Amino acid sequence: MITREQAEKFRKIIEAHSADFSDAEAAEAPHLFPGWSGGGTEYAVGDRVQYGGKPYKCIQGHTSQVTWTPEDAPSLWAKILIPDPEVIPDWVQPDSTNAYTKGDKVRFEGKVYESVIDNNVWSPAAYPAGWKEVEEN
């Protein structure tokens, strides 16, 4: 049995290495990432937080301010669009900072599509050449 002190030590080690997790790995352990704080917290590029129940990744280092929420500051934060590779999410309009990548799968108008390009910010209807319809696994 480990002590509370040992558990806290292990958690710090895991948290330190969680910055290297892929988005898929991060999605499997969201509790490792803190909730976003607007109280002057220092965020570095690659830091992940939870906000509004959704995972976000810091894309520009900064000191947080109350009005710079992940939803309101897309120049600072990118919403992780495919947080769980086992679940095909509905397509959402990405910002230029968090486009779909080649291989990402989404649901759009009742069908499943896979992005065939990186930096894909278009819907399957707007840019069909960027997507291929696939069977749901």
Q: What is the mean pLDDT of the chain?
A: 87
CATH label, 88-137, candidates 3.40.50.12780, 2.60.120.200, 2.10.10.20, 3.30.1160.10: 2.10.10.20
Amino acid at 57: K
User: What is the per-residue pLDDT across 4-20, written as a single tens digit (0 to 9) for each?
Assistant: 998 888 878 877 777 77
With bands split at pLDDT 50, 70 and 90, how would you rate the model's confidence at 50?
confident
CATH superfamily of 1-83: Carbohydrate-binding module superfamily 5/12 (2.10.10.20)
Domain ranges of the chain: 1-83, 88-137
- Whether 79 and 70 have beta carbons less than 8 Å apart is answered as yes
- Whether 37 and 50 have beta carbons less than 8 Å apart is answered as no
- Stated pTM of the model: 0.68
Q: Greater confidence, 1 or 130?
A: 130
